[in-house]
Structure 1
Amino acid sequence: MKIGSVIKNIRKRKKITQTQLAELSNITQTYLSQIENNQKDPTIQTIKSIAENLAIPLPVLLFMAVENEDIPENKREIYSMISPSVKSLLDTFFNDDK
């Protein structure tokens, strides 16, 4: 799961700087940078705060970060079939630009 990459992508699309999101989320810009670069694993409370400040429901943010390797091997085929459609739908629904 690469939650940082998803946070970074959403933050940039919403045209929010790291400094702005960090201040809103009550963390340092350095820590947010480390999260976004997948160098630090944030606590669930930090992820929740970031999600709220990005106006993205926490479950949506977490689902968007799931990777094929995170799914049990016996369920990967079905996940691979439905994931692109679900992620595209969520991306469209929560993207402010559309």
Structure 2
Amino acid sequence: MMNIGKKIRALRLGNSLTQEELANRLELTKGYISQLENNLTSPSMQTLFSILEVLGTDIHEFFSKEEEQTVVFKKEDFYEKENDTLKHMISWIVPNALKYEMEPIMIDIEPGGQSEIDDPHAGEEFGYVLEGQVTLVLNKKRYVIRKGETFYYLANKEHYLMNHSQQHTKVLWISTPPMF
């Protein structure tokens, strides 16, 4: 059986609305929206149609079976791109990450190689060095990060990774919003 209240709450949150904001748009009370979301009352068909219209959906979409979202990705799902000039390979380890809030990649950098130089952009980036060591260049300042260490910064300055060592390096690198 479908949990209508839970589904209405999820849609409301997806639209970044408080219970009060939703209630005001529908000329209902916040208490009524709360009761609906907790399945303490059921809406009339007319009220349900109005709620769904405000939340940007319709009755057909609301009651359709949700397609199962892929949660686990395997090596064969990854997309890889090699850059011989910069001596690196990027693996997009979550396909279609552009529809998500963040984008994780795995970057392998050969000795003497580097990532593309990223211009300043909105968002934040996080990295975890899995193998070797890497130099993060952030606004011309350099930081050496070794295996098992992490980095985190606002991406509002020019940034890239370089491998100055004699060994191969591998970094899990996550950007929000998706940029790679």
TM exceeding 0.5: yes
- Equivalent AA in structure 2 for residue 42 of structure 1: P
Aligned match of 1:22 = 23
* Deviation at residue 58 of structure 1 after TM alignment: 1.9
* Deviation at residue 51 of structure 1 after TM alignment: 0.3
* Deviation at residue 44 of structure 1 after TM alignment: 0.6
Asked if 2 retains the 8 angstrom alpha-carbon contact of 1:22 and 1:28, the reply is yes
What is the 5 A alignment of 1:1-98? 1-63=2-64, 83-85=65-67, 88=69
- Structure 2: distance between partners of 1:62 and 1:43: 15
- Structure 2: distance between partners of 1:62 and 1:35: 16
In terms of fraction of residues, the more helix-rich structure is: 1
Aligned match of 1:69 = none
- Structure 1: distance between partners of 2:32 and 2:3: 15
Change (3 A) 1:58 1:22: same
- Equivalent AA in structure 2 for residue 45 of structure 1: Q
With a CA cutoff of 8 Å and minimum separation of 6, indicate the structure with the bigger relative contact order: 1
- Rg larger for: 2
Structure 1: 4+ residue segments shifted above 4 A: none
TM-score by length of 1: 0.63
- Structure 1: distance between partners of 2:22 and 2:33: 8
- Equivalent AA in structure 2 for residue 9 of structure 1: A
* Deviation at residue 28 of structure 1 after TM alignment: 0.7
Change (3 A) 1:84 1:9: closer
For structure 1, list consecutive stretches of 5 or more residues without a partner in the other structure: 64-82, 89-96
* Deviation at residue 62 of structure 1 after TM alignment: 2.6
Asked if 2 retains the 8 angstrom alpha-carbon contact of 1:18 and 1:29, the reply is yes
Asked if 2 retains the 8 angstrom alpha-carbon contact of 1:3 and 1:62, the reply is no
